Structure 1
Amino acid sequence: RTVFHMRVVMKFGGGILADAACYARVADVVKQKVTEPWGGDEFVAVVSAAKGVTDRLIAAAKDACKNKGGIAPFLEQLEAEHREMLSLVQSAEHRATAEEQLNRKFERVLHAMTEIADAGQMSPADEDFVDSYGERLSNVVLCAYLRDRDLKSEALDAEDIGMVTNGRFGNALPILPQVRRNLEELVEPGVEDGLIPVITGYYGTNVRGEVTTFGRGGSDYSAAILAACLDADVLEVWKDVEGFMTANPKAVGEDKARKIDRLTYDEAEELSYFGAEILHPRTIDPLRQQQIHCVVKDIRHPEASGTVISEEADQYALVIKSIAVKRGIALITVRGQRPADAPGFAADVFQTMADAHVSIDAIATSQTDISFTINASHLPRACEALEKMEQELVREWYHNDGMALVGVVGTGMRGTPGINWRVFKAVGTAEPPINVEMICQGGSEINISFVVKEDRVQECLKVVHAELFKNEGR
C-alpha cells in the first residue's frame, strides 16, 4: 500500500442496529465513506447483533433446557424480525439472497437448541454457540444493504476468516499470530480488490472448531483485533453517542456533560475498565501495539469529529478527562493472622481468588487488612473460596455488596496537586455526606478510584463532576 492509501475498519454496535431504518442508515454512512475522497480506500465492517438479540438468544437457550416447545415459536419470531429488517432493501435479488442465508443459519441454531432441550442442560460450548448467532444474522442483513447500494460486499462469519482463539468459553482470547496469517490469506486479497467484508464480532473458534465468545461487548474487541492484524490505519467505532463524555449525561445532566475531543490509549482503557459503556475494556491493547488510531463516531451525526484515541496527549486538555462508574460491585476485606504486608499473605489471597475465577478490580491494603472489589455476580464463588482458606492464614473476612466503583481519570493528574482533595471535598458536600468505603490510587498515576454505596453513586457523580468541571461549559 502507498503512503496515501488508507485502510479503515468500521465497527457498528447493536445499539444502532435496531430495525430496517437503522441498517439502511449504517449502509448510507459506509457508502458516503467509500465515495468521499478523504473517507478511505479500503474498508472492513464489523457488526454486533441487532439490538437486544443476544440477550434474547441467551434467555431462549436457557429456557430450552426445560421447555422444548418454546424453541420453534421463538426462532420463528426472530426470523420474521430479521426478514423485516430487510424490508428497505430495494433489490429483490439481494433481499432473496439474504433471506436464503438467514434461513440456513436459523436451521443450524434450531438444531443446536433442540439438542440442548434433549439433553436437558446447556454446556459452556452450547451457550457460546447459540449466543454467537445474533452477529451471524446481523452481518447478512447489513451486507444486503451494502449490495443494494452497489457496493461489493460479502457476509463473513468468524469461522470464515480464521478468528482462532485460546478456547476459553465465555472469555476467549485470540491467538494473534495465527489470526494474522489467516486474515492475510482469507480476507486481505478481497479487501485489496475493493470488497467490503461484513464480519461477525464477538466470537471466534478454538482449534477444535468450537465457538468461543469474547464476553459481553466483545465485538469492539473483535474489531480491534481485525484492525491490528490487517494493519489498518484507523478503527472507527460507530455508536449513538457523541463520543466519550466527561461523565454519563444521564447521571450528571445532559447540559452538564461535555464531549471529550481526544483521549490517550491509557485514558480510554482506564475509563473502559471503570465502566464507561463506550468500548470493551480489551479493545485498546491491540490498537496501542500497532499505534492505530481509534475514533468513536456518532451515527446520528456522521460529520462530527467524535473522540479520537491515540498515543498523543492533548497538551491543551483538562487535567481530568472523565468520571466513570462501575455498578454491581462487592467489596471484600480479608484480615490475616499476620500483618497484611507479611510476605506471601497478599499472594495467597489473590491466588485463591484466581483459582476461583474471580477477577479483582481495585485493591487497597492496610497494616492488618487487604480490601478489594469484585463483580457482585462473582461473590458466591469468592465467599466459597475464602471459607476454604486455612485458618492459620485468615483470621476473619467480610463483604459488602450493593457497592459502586467510581473512577476519576486523566493523564493531567500526574504531578498536579490537589486533585484528591477536590474529589473528596465534593463527596463531603452531599447531603447527607456520602461515605467512602475504600480509596485506591492507580499505579499508572492517571486515576483515582473509590467505592461508595450504589444507591448514592448518582449523587456522588453529580457533585464530583460539578467540582471538577465547574468552569467548563458545553
Structure 2
Amino acid sequence: MNGSNSHTVEKIGGTSMSQYQAVRDNIMLNQQLKNPYQRIFVVSAYAGMTNLLLEHKKTAEPGVYGRFASAEEDRSWMEAFETVRSKMVETNLELFGETALREKADRFILRRLDDAERALTDLNNLCQHGHFEIGDHLLKVREMLASIGEAHSAWNLAHLLQKEGINAVFVDLTGWDIDKAVDMDELIKEKFWSLDLKECLPIATGYCHSAKGLMATFDRGYSEMTFSRIAVLTKAEEAIIHKEYHLSSADPKMVGLDKVVPIGLTNYDVADQLANLGMEAIHPRAAKGLRQSEISLRVKNTFEPEHKGTLITSTYVSDKPKVEIVAGRQNVYSFELFDQDMMGQVNRFDIETLALINELKIQMVSKDVTANSITHYLSCNLKKAKRLQTLLENKFPEAEVNVRKVCIVSAIGSDMQEAGMLARAVKAIAEQGISIQALHQSMRQVDIQFVLDEKHFETATVALHKHLVEQENEV
C-alpha cells in the first residue's frame, strides 16, 4: 500500500450515512483539509437497514433473519425481503435520482438480495430433511444478511463521490464472491495492498468476511472491529469515528444540551467503562487493537466539522482528579443468590451461575459478594431474566434467589483519586431522597457505580452531573 505513512482510518455511523449531504460537505470535502486523500473510510449500513435485515436493535422486532430463524413452514421471511428491497431501491432513488447510475446501483444491490434469497430458499428446503438442522447454519445466515447493508451503503458512497470528482474506490470486504473462507486480516491486506492512498479514497464495507465469523463475538458491533483491524494493519496515524453527536459529559436529552460539555480528551479505560454501560464509543475488543498499536481514537460529530471532537489515547490522565462523564444503564436485573452454607465456597456458586449466564448469552454489568451471598447485575430482557431465575432455582434448591429490576448510574473519569469525591457523589444522590441499593468503586479509581431502583435513573443522572461536572466547571 502506497502513501500510507500518514493516513487516517475513519468510520461513519449509520445515522450519519443516511445524510449524504452532511457526509459529503463535512467529512469528504471538509474545507479544513488540504486534499480528500490519505484517508480510508469504513461505513455502516444506512440507519434502520440492519434492523430490517436482522431484527430491530431495541424492540427485537424480527427482520429477514429473525423471521427465517423462527420459521419452519412459514415463509414470512420472504415478505421481509420485499421490505428490504423496497427500502434499498427507495434509498437509491433519493441519492441518485432518475439516472443511469441509479439503475446501476439497483442492479448491484438487487443481485445481492436475489442471491441471498435464493440461498435461504435452498437452505430452507434442505432442512426439511431430517439430516439437516437449520440451527447449524443460522450464524452464517446472519453474517450473510448483515453484509448486504454495508455493501449497499459503501457502493453508493463510492459512486456518489466519483460524481463529485473524487477518485473513490469501493472496497468490498464482505467476501461475497470468494469461494472459500479466508482469514480476516489476510483479506484486509489483500484488498488494500495495491491501493495508493495519495491518489484514491477507499470506501470499505463495515462488515468484513472472516473464517471464524465476526458476529459470533461482536454481533452488531462488527463494523467497529473491521474499522479497528484496518487501522492496525495499515498502520494508521489516527482512527476517527464520525457520529451524529459529541461524546459528552452526559446524555444531552436527559441533562440538557446547555449543561453538558463535549469531552476533549480521555483514555481507553474510560471508553471501556462506557461500553460496559452500553454507551459504546467503541467496542472494547476493537479498542484493544488500537490501544496495543498505540493508535489514538478520535470521536467527531458529523454535523460540527470544525469541532476537534474527543481524542481517546492510552496515556491520557486528567491534569486534576475529576468526573468526566456521568452515564448509566437501564433494564438491569439484580440476581441475588443467598445461601447460609455459601461461606467458604463462593467460587463454586459463582462459577456455576456464570455458566448459566453465558449459556443464555446475557451481559454482566457488575457483581458484588458477601460472606453468604453473591449478586450479579445483568443487562437483559424480562424473558431471559425469568429463564435465568428458573435455572438458578433448579441449580441451587436450598438457596434464596431474589430478582429485582434496577438501574446503574456511574460517574466516570480517567483519574478520580480524590478524597471526598465519593462522599460528594453519595450526597448528590441522597439529597434527592434516593436510597442506594449498592455501591461499587474499584481500586483503579476510574468509576463509581450506584445501583438504584429503576425509577430513579434520570433523577440520579441529572443530580450527579450537576454536583460532579457542572459545579466543578464553574469553579
Q: Confirm or deny a common fold (TM above 0.5).
A: yes
1:420 to 412, 419, 422: 422
Who is 2:131 aligned against? none
- The question of 1:157 aligning with 2:172 is answered yes
Distance 1:106 1:197 in 2: 24
Alpha-carbon shift at residue 317 of structure 1 (Å): 5.7
Who is 1:32 aligned against? 29
Q: Is the 8 A contact 1:247 1:323 kept in 2?
A: yes
Q: Is the 8 A contact 2:236 2:295 kept in 1?
A: yes
Task: Write the letter of the residue equivalent to 1:374.
Answer: L
Task: Write the letter of the residue equivalent to 2:165.
Answer: D
Relative CO higher for 1 or 2, CA cutoff 8 Å, sep ≥ 6? 2
Distance 1:117 1:436 in 2: 52
Alpha-carbon shift at residue 153 of structure 1 (Å): 2.4
Change (3 A) 1:2 1:229: closer
- The question of 1:111 aligning with 2:112 is answered no
364-373 or 198-207, which moves further after superposition? Answer: 198-207
Q: Is the 8 A contact 2:208 2:214 kept in 1?
A: no
Task: Write the letter of the residue equivalent to 2:236.
Answer: A
- The question of 1:77 aligning with 2:80 is answered no
Who is 1:369 aligned against? 373
Change (3 A) 1:315 1:447: closer
Trace 1:56-75 onto structure 2 (pairs within 5 A).
Answer: 56-58=52-54, 59-61=62-64, 62-63=66-67, 65=71, 66=74, 67=76, 70-71=79-80, 73-75=82-84
User: Is there any run of 5+ residues in structure 2 with no aligned partner, and where?
Assistant: 55-61, 129-133
Alpha-carbon shift at residue 106 of structure 1 (Å): 2.3
4-13 or 361-370, which moves further after superposition? Answer: 4-13
Number of aligned pairs? Answer: 448
Change (3 A) 1:286 1:68: closer
1:98 to 66, 91, 105: 105
- Percentage of matched positions with identical amino acids: 21
1:324-350 CA-partner distances (Å, limit 9, x unpaired): 111211111111342455363333433
Q: Is the 8 A contact 2:264 2:310 kept in 1?
A: yes
Q: Is the 8 A contact 1:12 1:47 kept in 2?
A: yes
Alpha-carbon shift at residue 157 of structure 1 (Å): 3.1
User: Is there any run of 5+ residues in structure 1 with no aligned partner, and where?
Assistant: 168-174
Trace 1:130-149 onto structure 2 (pairs within 5 A).
Answer: 130-149=145-164
Q: Is the 8 A contact 2:326 2:409 kept in 1?
A: yes
Change (3 A) 1:215 1:246: same
Who is 2:58 aligned against? none
2:292 to 286, 289, 301: 289
Who is 2:45 aligned against? 49
Change (3 A) 1:69 1:28: same
Alpha-carbon shift at residue 443 of structure 1 (Å): 4.8
Task: Write the letter of the residue equivalent to 1:450.
Answer: F
Change (3 A) 1:388 1:9: same
1:218 to 222, 229, 252: 222
1:401-434 CA-partner distances (Å, limit 9, x unpaired): 2x222221112213x111211111111111xx22
Distance 2:176 2:299 in 1: 25
Who is 2:12 aligned against? 12
SS of 1:295 mapped into structure 2: strand
Who is 1:183 aligned against? 188
Distance 1:106 1:367 in 2: 57
Distance 1:68 1:264 in 2: 43
- The question of 1:336 aligning with 2:320 is answered no
Trace 1:385-396 onto structure 2 (pairs within 5 A).
Answer: 385-391=391-397, 395-396=399-400
Alpha-carbon shift at residue 115 of structure 1 (Å): 5.1
Q: Is the 8 A contact 1:79 1:106 kept in 2?
A: no
Alpha-carbon shift at residue 388 of structure 1 (Å): 3.6
Alpha-carbon shift at residue 464 of structure 1 (Å): 1.0
Who is 2:57 aligned against? none
Distance 1:160 1:153 in 2: 20
254-263 or 118-127, which moves further after superposition? Answer: 118-127
Who is 1:195 aligned against? 200
Task: Write the letter of the residue equivalent to 1:80.
Answer: V
Distance 1:131 1:112 in 2: 14
Structure 2 length normalisation: TM-score?
0.84
Trace 1:292-311 onto structure 2 (pairs within 5 A).
Answer: 292-311=295-314
